[in-house]
Amino acid sequence: MWQPFDEGKTIGQPGSEEGVILRDDEHSLGARITLERDAHAAPFTITCGVYGWMLHTRFFSTEAEAASEYDKMKASLSDLLAPLADPAFSDRSAFIDAIAAFVESYP
């Protein structure tokens, strides 16, 4: 379900936090997660979003911590997106609550 964003062409390019993109993945259900080095606000950042629903950025001082959190967040985003795979999805309120819980889990 996760693939390199834009076939990996963004790696090494400037990211949304003005850093260099190290990792950049997109989920088939409509999400993206990006790890940057030397960002404007911190040595490392992770920016993730669920298209049309939320955008969230975190800041880190070490690459090891950022890489570990990237993997955790990516797995949690997969879980978060699961209800969107159901053609009968309609519980927007529950999905918004799940997004809030995700953001709270990854301050």
Non-local (6+) Cβ contacts of 19 within 8 A are 36, 37, 38, 39, 40, 44, 45
Confidence at residue 59, expressed as pLDDT on a 0 to 100 scale: 98
Provide CB contacts within 8 A for 7, sequence distance 6+.
none
Separation of CA 95 from chain center: 16
Rounded CA gap, 104 and 82, in Å? Answer: 19
Q: Is the dihedral of CA 106, 35, 56, 96 positive or negative?
A: negative
Please state the pTM of the whole predicted model.
0.97
Q: Which structural domain range is residue 42 located in?
A: 2-105
Q: What pLDDT sits at residue 28?
A: 98
What is the pLDDT, as a whole number, of residue 15?
98
What does the pLDDT profile of the chain (107 residues) look like in tens digits?
A: 999 999 999 999 999 999 999 999 999 999 999 999 999 999 999 999 999 999 999 999 999 999 999 999 999 999 999 999 999 999 999 999 999 999 999 99
So what's the pLDDT on residue 73? Answer: 98
Number of domains within the chain: 1
What distance lies between CA 21 and its chain's CA centroid? 13
Q: How many helices (H) and strands (E) does the chain have?
A: 2, 5
